[in-house]
Amino acid sequence: MCGIVGFTGKRQALPILLKGLERLEYRGYDSAGVAVCDGKTTRISKNAGRVYVLKYKTESENLVGTCGIGHTRWATHGKATEENAHPHTSEDLAVVAVHNGIIENYARLKTMLVEKGYAFYSQTDTEVAVKWLDYCLKQEGEPLQALSRFMEQVEGSYALAVLFKEYEGEIYAIRKDSPLLVGVANGESFLASDAPAIAEYTGDLYYMENKEIAQITAGEARFYDERAQEIKKVAVRAKTSGEETEKGAFAHFTLKEIFEQPKAVERTINALLKDGFIDFSAAGISEKMLKERGQVWIVACGSAYHAGLVLQYFFESVAKIPTRVELASEFRYRNPLLGKDALVVAISQSGETADTLFAVREAKRAGAETLAIVNVYGSSIAREAKYTLYTQAGTEVAVATTKAYSTQLVAGYLLGVELARGRGGLDERAYRAWIEEIVALPAKLSQTLEIRGEAEQAAKRIAKQPNVFFIGRGVDYATAMEGSLKLKEISYIHAEAYAAGELKHGAISLIETGTPVVCVVDSMFEKTVSNLAEVKARGAFTIAVAGEGKNVEGAEVTLSVPNSRLFASVAVVPLQFLGYYCGVERGEDVDKPRNLAKSVTVE
């Protein structure tokens, strides 16, 4: 979703801001803008559409200056127009700001501002925030007190980067429930909502906490609490590098990241194993804590939710622990009946998904233990959950997740095995067998990548179809759901996943001659093959994803993957390829599908 970048230093700000915005593009956005100050004048340029358009536009504009802020906006309040794009300004440019998040009481604030004589040019909540801040500044006379007052009165979520006209060379920033980090290096300072935007300049980052204020000048950053009292913060070494956000020889980030899966999975396993045994001590997870859990609730959104569904099967079958998976957006509002022995596992690539974050808070409020499986180091969910297991996918740029999903699965399998051991459900032999199975995954994933060509051919046969169905039983149903999501988000083909046995209770009426049905078939093999026969008999074009050496009768195309007791991990790869190649075949923007955002920081 929206991205923020800021710079104040010795060099011209514009190229640094534009490069930062390019690095934030993967978050998903529909307009972009920058504000650059040369000490006297702040100049703004913005447009609906991509950063490259902004880049082109600013070539003929005079945006000189060594201090500035930039933004990519994912529209919430008001369409994706130039007018609604950030930065937003007060009338006399006393306050110029960019904002991530949603100001929830903006309507009330706007009414009050209108009464005070303020006029508005956009439909955004951000313009209201900027003008409210301008009002606070006029009351308080200086930025720190103004920001402190602003935070008292403004409700909702925000990461706000502000240029105050009278404070040359300074950027002020505040945050609540939306990330912001600050980096200082070589007499220059950087600000971003997301580490990759500034990782090439500095690896030491100050992660701002809720309701902190940052005052950033060239080469220095000072931090204050919400009452504007100065606080000391310690910089943390970032776990990302700028290069990760380059796609190299690959046509798309999606393809690059599919290919990165064996390594990402291997890194994740290695980080959680020590001398062949699971070791969660770095996360502070004790054997006792796991042993005392009587139920697991997994909360997540999107693909992370599908990873949760796979893990539900794993936890229940291996650890014999009752497990429920809930969409975080539902969980947080329905007063779930969490037992005192509940472990709430939040799964999130970004660690910033608003619904998942609020689900963690809800779980904590209810007294449950909270454990996050998160990819982005230092992210909000990682910091707020009691325990965090980091996946080691590296920066994932393509909006549709692939490698992060695969790493979520392995981190989850290891958690399941450890839960099983803690609960006395695994003897040493069984424990070792599971570890071996997990450790074998990177090599099997490498082998699975060889399916690329066949998957591309299959994709060519389905790319023109309006509807595709995915079916599977048991854990394969969860994989079918992920395959269906990949296809619809990347290629915009309508896709639905069904439990293979359920299809005939309605959706089979939609099968026509040539309708593609992709069948993930491992669990309950014969029964699923029978379900495939049912759709074939009605004219479906059938594609199976099955273990090597398995003969799937009725499948016109079989995409064979290595056999594994962790079939979900290998079976998802051909489905990722199907989604990817269908998108390519249809000429879609596969890395940045329309309307989608990588990190969904609003409810």
The maximal CA–CA distance of the chain, rounded, in angstroms, is 77
Which structure tokens are listed for 85? 């794009």
Only one of the segments 33-41, 383-391, 520-528, 592-600 lies at the binding site for ligand G6P (rule: CB under 6 A); that segment is 592-600
Q: Which amino acid is at 77?
A: H
Only one of the segments 92-100, 114-122, 159-167, 300-308 lies at the binding site for ligand G6P (rule: CB under 6 A); that segment is 300-308
Whose Cβ is closer to ligand G6P: residue 129's or residue 568's? 568
The least CB distance from residue 598 to ligand G6P, in Å, is 6
Number of residues binding to ligand G6P, judged by CB under 6 A: 16
Which structure tokens are listed for 228? 């504007």
Whose Cβ is closer to ligand G6P: residue 58's or residue 348's? 348
Only one of the segments 245-253, 297-305, 440-448, 577-585 lies at the binding site for ligand G6P (rule: CB under 6 A); that segment is 297-305
Alpha helices per DSSP H over 450-499: 452-462, 475-491
User: Looking only at residues 389 through 408 of this chain, which bind ligand G6P when binding is defined by CB under 6 A?
Assistant: 399-401
The least CB distance from residue 443 to ligand G6P, in Å, is 26
The least CB distance from residue 379 to ligand G6P, in Å, is 9
Q: In terms of Cα–Cα distance, which of 76, 598, 98, 183 is closest to 352?
A: 598
Whose Cβ is closer to ligand G6P: residue 5's or residue 381's? 381
* SS3 category, 324: strand
User: Looking only at residues 301 through 330 of this chain, which bind ligand G6P when binding is defined by CB under 6 A?
Assistant: 301-304
Only one of the segments 107-115, 267-275, 296-304, 436-444 lies at the binding site for ligand G6P (rule: CB under 6 A); that segment is 296-304
Whose Cβ is closer to ligand G6P: residue 175's or residue 536's? 175
Q: What is the DSSP letter of 76?
A: S
Whose Cβ is closer to ligand G6P: residue 182's or residue 602's? 602
Half-sphere exposure of 432 (CA within 13 A, CB side): 4
For the packed helices 261-272 and 441-448, what is the interaxial angle rounded to 10 degrees? Answer: 170
Sheet holding 220-224, edge to edge: 88-89, 95-100, 158-164, 171-176, 213-217, 220-224, 230-231
User: Looking only at residues 335 through 374 of this chain, which bind ligand G6P when binding is defined by CB under 6 A?
Assistant: 348-350, 353, 356
DSSP 193-259: SSGGGTTTT-SEEEEPPTT-EEEEETTEEEEE-TTS-EE----EE-S--GGGG--TTSS-HHHHHHH
DSSP 404-423: HHHHHHHHHHHHHHHHHHHT
The least CB distance from residue 290 to ligand G6P, in Å, is 23
Whose Cβ is closer to ligand G6P: residue 42's or residue 303's? 303
Q: In terms of Cα–Cα distance, which of 282, 168, 151 is closest to 208?
A: 151
Active site residue 519: no
Active site residue 550: no
- Residue 599 as a binder of ligand G6P (CB under 6 A): the answer is yes
Q: Estimate to the nearest angstrom the gap between the alpha carbon of 211 and the chain centroid.
A: 23
The least CB distance from residue 491 to ligand G6P, in Å, is 15
Would you please indicate which residues are annotated as catalytic (active-site) residues?
2, 598
Residues in touch with ligand G6P (CB under 6 A): 301-304, 348-350, 353, 356, 399-401, 596, 598-600
